Amino acid sequence: MSTTVPLTAPEGTRAALIAAAMRLFGQQGFAATSTRAIATLAGTNVASISYHFGGKDGLRQACADEFSRQIRSAMATPPAHILSADAAHSQLHAAVRRMAEFMLGSPAAGDMVPFLIRELGENGPGLTAIYTELMEPTHRRFCALWASITGQAPESDAVKLSVFSTIGQIFYFRMAGPLVARRMGWAHIGAAEIDAISIQIQSNLDALLVAAERP
């Protein structure tokens, strides 16, 4: 059913294995994916997995590392100096919108978002690297923007939980996508549907910000 997007241009067996594993882990989950299937998709043999990564677990970790690496290079971290409330508001909106479109519009994200979702659902070992290198900085930056808007303390529990609430909506709509589509009467989740969800999340964000400004 998924459009058979070709794997990333193979620059060596090692990279091909990571690309193949990321796709299959994301589609079927870690336990359900055999090393043989990975090797076949990568155009190589099973033994190369042990050679390059020490085993299936090592390949999983390598996928998580590659995930963090690609996302970090894709998301240039802006300076995020002290901002006016209005500027922070625009930045936060843009960031949330970008994340929503990235998470929901998988074609752009390739095989990485399904992999992340699986790893999150399975509480995989790769999450530690992804957390420290990607999630924690992102969340911290969102909190800083949030605080610039509402005047709250950036690292207060209230701000942290509010940011999690917003990010959580994005993740939920991604994970429960099929169920949401069914309830909404959507045949599938295309550009229009992603737009509707994204707008809803941004509207929710504003509602939360307004409430936080007037406590």
Partner DNA sequence: GTCTATAAACAGATAGAC
Partner DNA sequence: GTCTATCTGTTTATAGAC
Which one, of 104, 126, 115, 101, lies nearest residue 189 by Cα? 104
Question: What is the dihedral sign for C-alpha 195, 200, 205, 210?
Answer: positive
The distance of closest approach from Cβ of residue 8 to a copy of itself in the complex, given in angstroms and rounded to an integer, is 25
> What DSSP element (H or E) covers 99?
helix 85-104
Q: Is 188 in the site for a copy of itself (CB under 8 A)?
A: no
Binding mask 18-57 for DNA (x = CB under 7 A): ---------------xxxxx------xxxxxxxxx--xxx
Q: Which does 161 bind (CB under 5 to 8 A by kind): DNA, a copy of itself, none?
A: a copy of itself
Structure tokens at 35: 């090393």
Q: Within a 13 Å sphere around the CA of 1, how many CA atoms are in the beta-carbon half?
A: 2
Among 3, 9, 11, 12, binds DNA (CB under 7 A): 12
Alpha-carbon gap, residue 139 to 131, rounded angstroms: 10
Contact (Cβ atoms closer than 8 angstroms) between residue 33 and residue 21: yes
Site string for a copy of itself, 11-50 (x = CB under 8 A): -----------------xxxxx------------------
User: How many residues touch a copy of itself (CB under 8 A)?
Assistant: 49
**Amino acid at the residue 78:** P
The two structure tokens encoding residue 72: 């970090």
By CB under 8 A, residue 164 contacts a copy of itself: yes
122 in contact with a copy of itself (CB under 8 A): yes
d(CA 53, CA 61): 9
Residue 98 identity:
R
Residue 121, Cα to own-chain centre: how many angstroms?
A: 12
Of residues 56 through 85, those in contact with DNA by CB under 7 A are 56-57
Given the rule CB under 8 A, which residues bind a copy of itself? 28-32, 117-118, 120-123, 127, 131, 135-136, 139, 157-158, 160-162, 164-165, 167-169, 171-173, 175-176, 178-180, 182-184, 196-197, 200-201, 203-204, 206-208, 210-212
Given the rule CB under 7 A, which residues bind DNA? 12-14, 33-37, 44-52, 55-57
